[in-house]
Structure 1
Amino acid sequence: MNQILKSISYIFHPLLMPLLGVIFYFSKSPRFIPEPVIKAKLFSITILTVILPILLFYLLKTINKVQSFHLETVKERQLPLIINSCIIVLILVRVLPINDIPELYFFFIGILISTITCLALALAKFKASIHMIASAGFFMFAVAVAIHFKININGTIALMCIILGAIATSRLHLKAHTPIELIVGCFVGLLPQLILLNYWM
């Protein structure tokens, strides 16, 4: 059981959630988007949100700025969150401008707001759960896409709720967070996506 709960934290790592959101959108959107465009967007998002942060993490670890991939202390979180905010801004400017795919643009605006909020909390010495921030943000975006395009994804929503519970259970079991840190993380991820619905739905 310990290994299963530990593996959940890796399988549903925050780095993967933006990419999963983009994949979900392209798989559910009824809009015609040329396949080369989809492939180019997915390639760029994969490089910028997964591969680049991993490479930068190992750089930060080499220079002793971080110790763990899970950024266990608030001090370790600050520089990676700043770097991640810059990466998201780059995505918004170069990969997903507002006049390109508005839904994904505002999805990443929400991610940026959540990241900056998490950074502010880290500076205030509060360790909100980044796992819950990322997964709750993706959950809210997926529900919004389904409502926007009038798609029935009840089974997917039920599965996502189970996954959210599994992630929270995993983080508690590993003693990575307290219940309040998980709850705050959930709201930090969910609320920006919810508020931004007014701009694209």
Structure 2
Amino acid sequence: MKFFLKSISYVFHPLFMPIIAVSFYYAKSPRYIPTEIIQAKIISVFILTLILPILLFFLLKSLKTIHSIHLKTTQERIMPLVLFSVIIFLVLRKIFPQNDILELYYFFIGVLITNLSCLFLAFFKFKVSLHMAGISGIFMFFVALSIHYNININGTLALLSIIIGLIATSRLYLNAHNYKELAIGFFIGFLPQLIVINYWL
């Protein structure tokens, strides 16, 4: 059981959320977009939001700024969250500017708001659940897409609901967070996506 719940924390790590959202968007969007452009966008997001943060993690670890990928203390979280905010800003400037794909532009605006909120709380020694923030943001974005394109993704949303429960159980079982940190993490991920849909839905 411990191995399974620990695996959940790795499989659904917050760093995977942007590439999941972008891939899902392109898979479900009815608008025509050339395959070459889709591939280029996905690869760019993969490099910037997954590969680059992993490389920066090893750099910060070698500098002893952080000690593990779990970022167990609020002090350890500050620099990674600052760097990830810069990365999301680059994504907004170079990959999904406002005049390109409005849905993904505002999705990343929501991600940036979530990230900055987590950073703000870290300065005040509050360790919000980044896992819950990531998965709840994805959930709200998928709900918005289903309404926007009038598509039935009830199976996907049901699966995401189960995953949210598994992540919460995993983080509690591993003593990584308490109920309050999980709940606030959920709303910090969910609410920005709910707010920004007013600009594209």
In the superposition, the TM-score normalised over structure 2's length comes to 0.99
Q: CA shift at 1:5, angstroms?
A: 0.2
Map of 1:25-174 to 2, 5 A cutoff?
Answer: 25-174=25-174
Q: Residues of 2 paired with 1:156 and 1:20: CA distance?
A: 12
Cα deviation digits, residues 115-143 of structure 1 (max 9, x gap)? 00000000011000000001000110011
Q: CA shift at 1:152, angstroms?
A: 0.5
Q: Residues of 1 paired with 2:147 and 2:168: CA distance?
A: 26
Q: CA shift at 1:188, angstroms?
A: 0.2
The corresponding residue for 1:182 is 182
The corresponding residue for 2:22 is 22
Q: Residues of 1 paired with 2:70 and 2:107: CA distance?
A: 23
Q: Residues of 2 paired with 1:43 and 1:116: CA distance?
A: 25
Segments ≥4 residues shifted beyond 3 Å: none
Q: Residues of 2 paired with 1:123 and 1:186: CA distance?
A: 19
Unaligned runs of 5+ in 2: none
Q: CA shift at 1:18, angstroms?
A: 0.6
Q: 2:36 corresponds to which letter in structure 1?
A: P
Other structure's SS at 1:196 match = helix
Q: 2:114 corresponds to which letter in structure 1?
A: S
Cα deviation digits, residues 129-169 of structure 1 (max 9, x gap)? 00000100011001100110000011111110000000000
Count matched residues.
201
Q: Residues of 2 paired with 1:70 and 1:54: CA distance?
A: 12
Q: CA shift at 1:85, angstroms?
A: 0.2
Q: Residues of 1 paired with 2:169 and 2:147: CA distance?
A: 28
Q: Residues of 1 paired with 2:130 and 2:86: CA distance?
A: 17
Q: 1:109 corresponds to which letter in structure 2?
A: I
Other structure's SS at 1:84 match = helix
Q: 2:19 corresponds to which letter in structure 1?
A: L
Q: Residues of 1 paired with 2:126 and 2:155: CA distance?
A: 35
Q: CA shift at 1:87, angstroms?
A: 0.3
Q: 2:156 corresponds to which letter in structure 1?
A: T
Identity of aligned residues (%): 58
Q: Residues of 2 paired with 1:88 and 1:111: CA distance?
A: 8
Cα deviation digits, residues 20-40 of structure 1 (max 9, x gap)? 000110000000011000000
Unaligned runs of 5+ in 1: none
